[in-house]
Amino acid sequence: MKLRALSVSEINKYIKNTLESDPIISYVAVKGEISNFKLHSSGHAYFSLKDDNSKISCVMFRSDLMKCTVDLAEGMAVEISGNISVYERDGRYQLYGRSVKQVGLGDLQQKFEALKKDLLQLGYFDQSKKKVIPHFVDRVGVITSPTGAAIRDILSVARRRNPKVELVIYPVRVQGDQSCEEIVTALDYFNTLEDIDVIIVSRGGGALEDLWSFNERPVAEAIYRSRIPVVSGVGHEVDFTISDFVSDLRVPTPSAAAELVIKPLEDMRFELRQKSETLSSRMESRLKLERRQLLMYNERNINSIDRKIQDYKSRLQRLGVSLDTLSPLKTLDRGYAVASVEGHLLDSVEKVKVDDTVNITLKDGEIKARVQEVEVKDEPIV
C-alpha cells in the first residue's frame, strides 16, 4: 500500500488537531518542578515542567501570568492547569498554562501568598507609607489576649523600663472565628481616641493556623488605615504575618514590641543628668572667661567701665543662685551653706548689719538667723 506523503506542515497540523480534540488534553493539570525558567522581554514565560524521569515544555503568556498569585521561579513545585497543544513551526507539543498553584503548600499558605501579593501591588507595604514610631510615648494601646503569654511579656518589659507610661489593653481573641473582627474593632476603636501614641498588635507564637487572624485581609486593612502608628509583634522570630508587613514596624516577639516602644526611664534620667552638668560647666567656664576680661578692662579704665561691672556682678549673683538650684547637692552635701538676705545671695559681710535676718540653706533645710555682730577681716579669706 502506497502512502501519500504529507508535508511537514500538514502532519504537524494534523497532530495538533488530534491533540486538541482530546477531552483530557484540552484541559489538564500537570504537576512538576519548574526548570529552565525564562521570562522573555515580551512578558511571556518559557520553562519546562519535570519530574524524576520526564519533562514537558511549558509556556505561560503574559496575560495569564499577570493573573497568577505566585511568582514562578526555578525549582518551584507547581501544578499548572491549561491545555496541551502543538507549536506547529517547531513541531513541538507544549503545555499552555493558564493558571498556577504552588504545591507542597497548604491552602492557608496559598491564601497567604495570594493576599501578600495583592496587598503588595496595592502599595500596603510601601516604605513611604510607614508612619514614624514616636521616640517618647505617654499612652500605648495594646491589642492582644488579656490572658496570653504576650500580655505578660509586654507588661513585664514595660513596667521594668518605664512604669510611668500608661498601657491600655484592648482585650481580643487572638485566634478563632471572631478573632479577626475583634482585632479590627480594637484598631478602629483606638483610632477614635485622641491620646494613644502607638498601638501594639501582638500574640505569642503558634502554627500558621493559630496566627491566621493576623493574615486576614480586614486586619491588614485596619492596620493600613490606622492614623496611629502600629507595631506588630506576632509569634516568634521565624513567624511572618501579613500584619507584620502592613504595620509600620515589625518586631519579632511581643517583648520586643514593648522594648521598642518604651524607652527606659533610667536612660532618660542619665541623659538629663549629663545635660545639666554640661550646661553648668559651659556656663561656669564662660563666666571665668568673662571675669578675666572684666578685670583687664578694670585695670585699663576703671571709671567708664565701673557701671558695666556692677551690672555684670549682679547678674553673676543671680546666676550663682541658678547654678546652685541646678546641682544643690554638690555644694550643700559637702557642708557648705548658702546665705541670703531678702533673696539676695550673701557674698560680703558689708551686705548685712546687726539684727538683719539671714536665711541659711543647708542640705536638709533652712535656718533663719539674726545677725549679732559683723566683723570685717582685713585680709580676704578667699
Task: Using CB under 8 A, list all residues that contact another protein.
Answer: 134-138, 146, 152, 155, 162-171, 189, 197, 265, 268-269, 271-272, 275-276, 278-279, 282-283, 286, 289-290, 312, 315, 318-319, 322, 325-326
Q: Judged by CB, which is closer to another protein: 112, or 190?
A: 190
Please state the closest distance from residue 361 (CB atom) to another protein, in A.
Answer: 17
Please state the closest distance from residue 311 (CB atom) to another protein, in A.
Answer: 9
Q: Judged by CB, which is closer to another protein: 14, or 136?
A: 136
Q: Judged by CB, which is closer to another protein: 78, or 262?
A: 262
Please state the closest distance from residue 212 (CB atom) to another protein, in A.
Answer: 24
Q: Judged by CB, which is closer to another protein: 69, or 280?
A: 280
Do the Cβ atoms of 228 and 208 come closer than 8 Å?
no
Q: Judged by CB, which is closer to another protein: 95, or 142?
A: 142
* Packing angle of the helix pair 302-326, 265-300 (nearest 10 deg): 160
Please state the closest distance from residue 152 (CB atom) to another protein, in A.
Answer: 7
Please state the closest distance from residue 164 (CB atom) to another protein, in A.
Answer: 6
d(CA 338, CA 363): 10
Q: Judged by CB, which is closer to another protein: 59, or 265?
A: 265
Please state the closest distance from residue 161 (CB atom) to another protein, in A.
Answer: 12
